[in-house]
A and B are shown apart, each in its own frame.
Chain A
Amino acid sequence: MALTSAPPRTVRRVGWGQRLSRWDVKLSPYLYVSPFFLLFAVFGAFPLLFNIVVALHDWHRRAGMGDFVGLDNFAWVLQQPLFWRSLENTISIFLLGGVPQLVLALLIAAILDQNLRARTFWRMSVLIPFVVMPVATSMIFGQVFGQFGILVPNLHALGLFTDSSSPFFQDRFLSHVAIGSMVVFRWTGYNALILLAAMQAVPRDLYEAATVDGAGRARQFFSVTIPSIRPTLVFVILTMTIGGLEIFDEARLFDGGGTGGGQGGTDNQWTTVMLYLFNLGFGQWQDRLGQAAAVGWIFAFIILIISLLNFALTRRISSSDAARGRPRRGRRSYRGAQDVDTQSVVARETAGDAMEGTTL
């Protein structure tokens, strides 16, 4: 606050440097993320949108775009008994592969969470099935489940499945079991490691408190571990759902693949929707690309619905957790076990969570 009159202020000219730096601040974030979005736009978004164009036209694989047929392709697909059969197969394979996978992944993660010797070795080797290519897995499992593999002759000797020469390739349910086993083989280790990471973030004080309260190992697992890793579990279930619904490699290569096989079974016992799409658009038929595109969009819609269901379920779980005040518990336990209230609070929380666990 100067009382003396100051010289009139001249207009400050903003130099180049300052203007550039202001642009820098505004634009840089967008530039830093643009490579991904550019690539995504070209290789992800554009094909996705172009697929709509394909689905609305009669499209010959070589001759290209035909007449505009509107929603005819969609109507055609929904009338195909094979489409519905492959949808049933897909859901069946997904459940037969997903549920055991999840259970095993949880168990393995819980075991790896313990103080084992050569911990890193076990944790790495659990990932080895994931590293094996799906193609190789399918070929080997195809041989194992095949007519002359190690499984079927022994099962026949035990008197099981004697009415079919190759039960895992002829019976619909058994073929789903076989393919489900491939999925379990591949993804259990991967999911186990993700769940393990989540389990390692659970504060050890909780386990101590639970032990003090008299909870056994199994009880601790269900009442402390699983509720604590719930967000990760939800993520794993979501990715497993989406991946399981899109199974293609294993289904295609189960009986030999390209040369003579790859149909999904003589009666389409294990044709998944992705395999159906592939055979429709890129298999024997030459002018069904439009219908294949329609299958793609219909299935994307179905996956979207399932994912939304998943999401709704998630929010219900997470919100109920927040209402129960989970952060409060964490903070309390960090403040120290000397806190008299902690133990009873933890006991109440544990009991409450256990109950919640069962209702789900």
Chain B
Amino acid sequence: MRITTRAGAVVATAALTALVLTSCSGGGGGAGAGAGEATDDNKPEKLTVAAWMDFPPELLQSFEDEYGIKVVVDSFPDGASAQTVLRNGLSSDGAGLSDVHLIELDWWTEMMAVPEDWVELPEIPDRWVDWKVKQGSVDGVITGYGTDIGPLGIAYNEEMMSAAGVATDEDSFAALIGGDSASWQSFLDAGREYVATADNYYIDSLSSAFQAAINLLPDAFEDPESGKPYDMAGNAQIEELFMMFAEAAEDGISAGIPIGHADWGAGFQNRQWATVVTPAWMAGIIAENADGIPGWRVSSTFPDGGGNWGGSFFAVPATGENTAWAVKLADYLTSPEAAVQWFHTTGQFPSQLEAIASPDIAETENEFFGGQRLGQVYGDLAAAAGDAAAGGYRGENFAGIQTLVTDGIRLVESGSATAQEAWDSVVSEFDALGFDTAD
């Protein structure tokens, strides 16, 4: 019995000490600041890049030929898995992280919560569009080099449009959704017109379209100055936009199957819908999923002039061992030449000015989309979007609040609630979360 009590006391003390020590250390910081010089002395044998898209075959080989460093891609099946690994790595002092990490715009704010985690990257003037550089900076310090952007376009199926008798080609479709003064209202009204005579849905998912519309707003959910969320009940612009989409959902123009849903691919094959809001990076995914279904095109008209959805950056974690050379690799991977190669490999649209202007991209014909020159189409869409492409303010709680609100649209799409009921439930769920809102 004596042993038990004594052993118990020892164990308890040890456990308490360990607990207190661990809780005191909390979230540590990294090295921060610059990476230093990349010289022959600190040249590593290999560098790793974490990404989830295919790399152009010659790109890594030419880096190896030029610098003698082997580049290995840590490949993830999708962005979400890379995000998880990055989260865990940042919280555990860099465990499991690669030298260079691809970060999507959606979770850029989350990853940059502690700026000291990332190496400051040197400015490369005139390489990217302005707003891409700004998106990739934190408090004026560049921490990410831009890869692709997602100019918004609308993919539509010409054959389905003709069958419904509402449009026959590019120009008539543009006229259908509102032409030069196309707005979300005119786009949704076109949907109502379409379903009146068609035997399928107009759009795959209004919640995706709603998310694209949110991307165009300068300050959708949070106050850019204080970072605090707006009170949802009093957020008039969101309520108006929400009701617009919810009422369209009530009228049954949407199939309610967004990208990422298990049935999305099957939906294409079963010809369930005629339009999809398509940023540049989604075009290739649609081509894969809708393989064998003819008639898909991308329109050069977009509601409210257009905007941007997504895009990624290459960033260098500060806890890496070879940050100087990792910065060089990030520079190499985001050069205009690399961007052009990527366009041909995955179809992603470049953010580099030279690449956007290059005839190589503008003149490539996409076989799936009926020989359309998607480079040109998306280039024009990006140019038309102008400043709106920079996107709005995304604070800490942006992702969570956005999911909450788009869920409301999904509720109406599935027929579980009316537009007003859905909005009321969004407001009450937001209130239940108990935010300290901006006044």
Residues of A at the B interface (CB closer than 8 Å) are 41, 45-46, 49-50, 53, 57, 60-65, 76, 79-82, 139, 142-143, 146-148, 163-166, 169-170, 255-256, 258-261, 263, 266-267, 282-287
Do A256 and B26 touch across chains, with their CB atoms under 8 A apart?
no
User: Quick check: A64 and B27 within 8 Å, CB to CB?
Assistant: yes
Docked pose: A142 CA to B266 CA in angstroms:
13
B10 at interface, CB cutoff 8 A: no
Min Cβ gap A121→B in Å is: 34
Per the CB 8 Å criterion, the residue count for chain B at the interface is 51
The verdict on B23 contacting chain A, using a C-beta distance below 8 Å, is yes
Chain B contacts for A139, CB-based, 8 A: 262
Chain A nearest CB: distance from B177 CB in Å? 25
Per-residue 0/1 for B263-300: is the Cβ within 8 Å of any A Cβ (1 yes, 0 no)? 10011001000000000000000000000000000000
Give 11 A-B pairs besides A60-B27, A261-B261, A284-B399 with Cβ atoms closer than 8 angstroms: A45-B15, A50-B23, A62-B90, A76-B434, A81-B429, A147-B266, A165-B255, A166-B263, A259-B78, A259-B260, A267-B411
Q: Are A170 and B259 in contact (CB under 8 A)?
A: no
CB of A53 within 8 A of CB of B19, answer yes
Chain A residue with minimal CB distance to B16?
A: A49
* A182: min CB distance to chain B, Å: 14
Q: Is the CB of A81 within 8 A of B260?
A: no
Asked whether, in the complex, the Cβ of A164 is within 8 Å of the Cβ of B415, the reply is yes
Q: Which residues of B contact A170 (CB under 8 A)?
A: 414-416
Docked Cα-Cα span, A78 to B33, in Å, equals 43
Chain B residues, CB < 8 A from A65: 23, 26-27
Nearest-neighbour CB distance to chain B for A140, whole angstroms, equals 10
Asked whether B396 lies within 8 Å of A287 as measured between CB atoms, the reply is yes
Most buried by B among A64, A258, A260: A260
Q: List 19 A-B contacts (CB under 8 A).
A: A41-B15, A60-B27, A61-B113, A62-B27, A62-B114, A64-B27, A80-B433, A81-B429, A139-B262, A146-B263, A147-B257, A148-B270, A166-B256, A170-B416, A256-B260, A258-B81, A259-B78, A284-B403, A286-B400
Whether A49 pairs with B410 at a CB distance below 8 angstroms is: no
Cβ-based interface call for B18 (8 A): yes
Contact with A along B69-102 (1 / 0, CB 8 A): 0000000001111001001001100000000000
How far in angstroms is the closest Cβ of chain B from A168? 11
Whole-angstrom CA separation of A56 from B397 in the bound complex: 21
* B429: chain A residues within 8 A (beta carbon): 81-82
Once the chains are docked, how many angstroms separate the CA of A17 from the CA of B90?
A: 53
B396 near A147 (CB under 8 angstroms)?
A: no
Question: Complex: how many Å from CA A1 to CA B256?
Answer: 101
B258 within 8 A of A: yes
Whose C-beta in chain A lies nearest to the C-beta of B11?
Answer: A41
Does the CB pair B263–A258 fall under 8 Å? Answer: no
| Closest partner residue, chain A, to B259 (CB atom) | A260
Nearest CB to that of A79 among chain B residues? B432
Q: How far is the CB of A308 from chain B (nearest CB, A)?
A: 24
- Judged by a CB distance under 8 angstroms, whether B170 is at the interface is no
Residues in A with CB closer than 8 Å to B354 are none
Quote the shortest CB–CB distance from A336 to chain B (angstroms). 48
B404-427 contact mask (Cβ, 8 Å, vs A): 1 or 0? 000100110111110000000000
In the assembled complex, the CB of A179 is this many whole angstroms from the nearest CB of chain B, namely 14
Interface status of B250 (Cβ within 8 A of chain A) = no
Q: State in angstroms the CA–CA spacing of A45 and B416 once bound together.
A: 44
- Bound-state CA distance A119–B432 (Å) is 57
B432 touches A82 (CB 8 A): yes
Of B117, B270, B410, chain A has the most CB atoms within 10 Å of the CB of: B410
Q: Is the CB of A256 within 8 A of B261?
A: yes
Cross-chain contact B411 with A266 (CB below 8 angstroms): yes
Q: CB-CB < 8 A to B259: which residues of A?
A: 259-260
Bound form: Cα–Cα A62–B90 in Å = 7
Q: Which A residues touch B27, using CB under 8 A?
A: 60, 62-65
* Interface members, chain B 361-405 (any A CB < 8 Å): 396-397, 399-400, 402-403
Identity of the chain A residue whose Cβ is nearest the Cβ of B207 in the assembled complex: A266
B22 within 8 A of A: yes
Q: Contact between A50 and B411 (Cβ–Cβ < 8 Å)?
A: no
Q: Which residues of A contact B260 (CB under 8 A)?
A: 256, 259-261
Which residue of chain B is the closest to A143 with respect to CB atoms? B262
Q: Tell me the smallest distance from the CB of A22 to a CB of chain B, in Å.
A: 14
- Chain B residues near A62: list those with CB within 8 A: 27, 87, 90-91, 110, 113-114, 117
Q: A50-B23, A65-B23, A285-B400 are in contact. Are A260 and B110 (CB under 8 A)?
A: no
Task: Kindly provide the distance from the CB of B82 to the nearest chain A CB, expressed in whole angstroms.
Answer: 11
Nearest B residue to A147, CB-CB: B263
Given A148-B270, A170-B416, A258-B78, A46:B113 Cβ within 8 A: no
